[in-house]
Structure formats: structure tokens, C-alpha cells
Amino acid sequence: MVIVGNNLASSIYVRNKAKACSETGIYSEVHEFPESVSENEVLRRIQELNENTRIHGILVQLPLPRHFEDKRLIAAIAVEKDVDGFHLNNVGALVTGNAVFSPCTPYGVMRMLEKSGIQVEGQHAVVVGRSNIVGKPMALMWLEKGATVTICTSKTRDLTGYTRRADILVVATGKPRMITADLVKAGATVIDVGINRMPNGKLAGDVDFDSVKEKAGYITPVPGGVGPMTIAMLLYNTIEAARRAQAEALPRINVGNNT
């Protein structure tokens, strides 16, 4: 994990990821840099990690300080170690329905839907938020499963008109408790990707859990909903990367059935 600067939320995410690695027996390293570091120094470290055969997964924790360009650092990560699925090659693979590494948060949402027996095909799935980390990859994963997909943004006119018609609603806006019960269809599946620190120090999602839980068919809490799933899928992608690296390293045996 590569982390630059002192964004508090990022430090907590990275600590939780490292803890999950140690709990599951995955070796991990945290490469921390001060905000004043040069981009070249971070790029050099990524290159060293690319070349280190004991490391199978690399991630750059986002957001980066303002004077860094996300895309330059992400482009430097070896495609086969990009366990966040943010490298352009992996994004392209996802767009064309050939995902190699799927971004962890929407991947975790898909896994929750699947494990809860919630159908995606033919459903109207709405995501509020159009980020590269959540909104866009979420929409692509739903499309691949045959949903009718709507992406809403902070500029969407008549947001309520879309959210009220969602069979599956994912919210990633960073606006605490903005989705109230009147914005939700009865029986809908509501998945809250938001995590906001309230003035009283408590964490709150983008969904008003107490009112929406009375109306939704399924709902995820904050904390304890999507967050742990994101980490689980990161571990999943990392194991997958290690498995692929090992398969690559095995001698290829000609089994004689390719005539």
C-alpha cells in the first residue's frame, strides 16, 4: 500500500487493510510518504514494488494530495499487480466485459447482492455518484449482468424521480443522510457507500438508515456494511493476483491435445 500525505480517512482505510492482511495471513507493507514528497520518488517506489516478485498486489490510496496526478501514479502500477482495478488497461477490460481486476467497492456490492439472492438481471439499478472508484464501475458491473442502469450525479434534475424507481439503489455522494425514506421505493435494496464523520464524532452514511430501514427490502448499515466488503474484495483480488503469478511461473506442459 502506498499512501501520500496525512488524510485521516485514508490512514484509517490503510490501517484496516493492513490489519485484514495480517488476520488472513497475507504479507503486507505500508509505504508512507509525507505530502512534500516528489512524484518521482513515489514513482520510483512503485517501480521497485513492480519488480519485487514477493509482492503480488499494489495499491495507491486515494485521494492523493492536490499537486499529484492520480492517473500518473496509477499508470505506473504493473497491470498484473493492480488489485484495485484502477489502471486504464483494467478499466478497459471491465468496460468490454472482460474484467481482470474489478474495483473493490462495487465488486463487494455485487458479491453482497449475489450472496443475498438479489436478482440484478432486468432490474432498474441506480447509482448516485459518478466516481471512477464507485459510480462508473458499479454501473458497468450491473450492465454486464443485464440490469437497466441509471447513473445520477450531483447535477441530476429530479433526483427523486430516479431514486424512487430504483429496485437497487447504491449511494456514494458524501452527503450525510441525504437519502430519506421518501426517496426510496418500498421493498428496494438500498446500499450505502457513504462514510461521513458527523460533528459529534460518530460515523454516518449517505442514507438515513433509521427511516429507510422501515421502507427498504434490504439495507446496509454504516459502518459495517460496504466497508468490510471493500476490504474483503481487495484480499480476494490480491490472492487472485498471487495465484495468476504462480500459474505463470509454472513450466508449461504440452498435454498433447492441441493438434
Q: Which of 133, 139, 170, 229 binds ligand GUN (CB under 6 A)?
A: 133
The question of whether 61 is a catalytic residue gets the answer yes
Look-up: residue for cell 490480491?
Answer: 238
The question of whether 84 is a catalytic residue gets the answer yes
Q: Does 90 bind ligand GUN (CB under 6 A)?
A: no
Q: CB of residue 243 vs ligand GUN: minimum separation in angstroms? A: 21
> Would you give the binding string for ligand GUN spanning residues 199-238, x where CB under 6 A is met?
-------------------------------x--------
Buried b (16+ CB within 10 A) or exposed e, 46-77: beebeeeeebbbbbbbbebeeebeeeebbbbb
Q: Angle, to 10 degrees, between the axis of helix 88-95 and the axis of helix 135-144?
A: 40
Question: Of the two residues 26 and 181, which places its CB atom closer to ligand GUN in the complex?
Answer: 26
Q: How far apart are CA 108 and CA 233, in angstroms?
A: 6
Q: Point out the residue whose Cβ comes nearest to ligand GUN.
A: 62
Considering only 60-68, 114-122, 141-149, 172-180, which stretch makes contact with ligand GUN by CB under 6 A? Answer: 60-68
Q: Tell me which residue of 234, 204, 20 sits closest to 106, measured CA to CA.
A: 234
Query: CB of 58 within 8 A of CB of 50?
Result: yes
Question: Of the two residues 104 and 168, which places its CB atom closer to ligand GUN in the complex?
Answer: 104
Positions annotated as catalytic residues are 17, 61, 84
